[in-house]
Amino acid sequence: MTIYNVGSINIDHVYQVEHFVRPGETLTSGHYQKLLGGKGANQSIALAHAGGEVMHVGAVGSGETELLNQLKASGVNTQHVAQTEQATGHAIIQVNQEAENAIVLFSGANHALTHAQIEGTLAAAKPSDWVLLQNETNYISESVALAKARGLSVAFNPAPMEKTLVEQVIDQIDVLIVNEIEAMDLFAVDSVEQAQQLFQHNYPQLSVILTLGAQGVRYINAQGVVEVEAFNVTAVDTTAAGDTFIGFCLAGMMEKLPIEHALKRACAASALCVTQAGASVSIPTLEQVNQFLEQN
């Protein structure tokens, strides 16, 4: 069983700062890192670390062999990552003393995917395979349509949130992964509970993974709700926490683990992630996650 991740690949420029830069302010950074990132790449690495077979479908600027080598070293298949004349996508990330982040994103080559590239890649997919998407590349709705035409399951993490896009594809999605703000924004409501009820009422065919930060996570479908608490750790950098959770959770679901078990393992992976600085470099291995679970 393979998961085809149609996702972004970025160069992350990470700056440790006392506080987020204010309008008109010049701020000195105490530490700088240049790292592999992007929601797509992070989620592919998390999937691979969790034991999943992941095929990344994306694009980078020509000559970006270092980024591709890092993905390969993490266990990600990159044969369907195109190299284009456009610059590789990148992000400017500020991390403050409370381990919160503020991000400026440039799409670059992430918006150079082609219909032929995606169609050709999914032509080899089997009905048991999955397609995973975020909202950092082009051809989102087209990718969903191509996946469903081949009978594949689709998971969608619509970040950055774009309500109109979600509304266009939600009837074709099997698993929607959103945080509490995204869920409330989707329905224009003021509480997570209202959003939860509307998901169950309006989209009974849909499974929703609703991440709640330090409060844990809820798995919502027409049959009910499964809730798992987050682990209490000291956070250093939350940059890739959500991506780590998604990768480990989907890998667990593809393994047919009980959903509570898959959620708990994903929460543990996310907890370990935030104790380390950086994005992809902070994603733990399955062995590390299992050790953490044994101790907690």
* Active site residue ranges: 243
3-state SS assignment for residue 101: strand
Which of 221, 216, 262, 261 is CA-nearest to residue 242? Answer: 216
3-state SS assignment for residue 62: coil
The CA angle 80-81-86, to the nearest 5 degrees, is 145
Q: What are 71's two structure tokens?
A: 């993905």
The CA-based dihedral angle spanning residues 201, 202, 208, 210, taken in that order and rounded to the nearest 10 degrees: -80
Residues 6 or more apart whose Cβ sits within 8 Å of residue 111:
86, 89, 137, 138
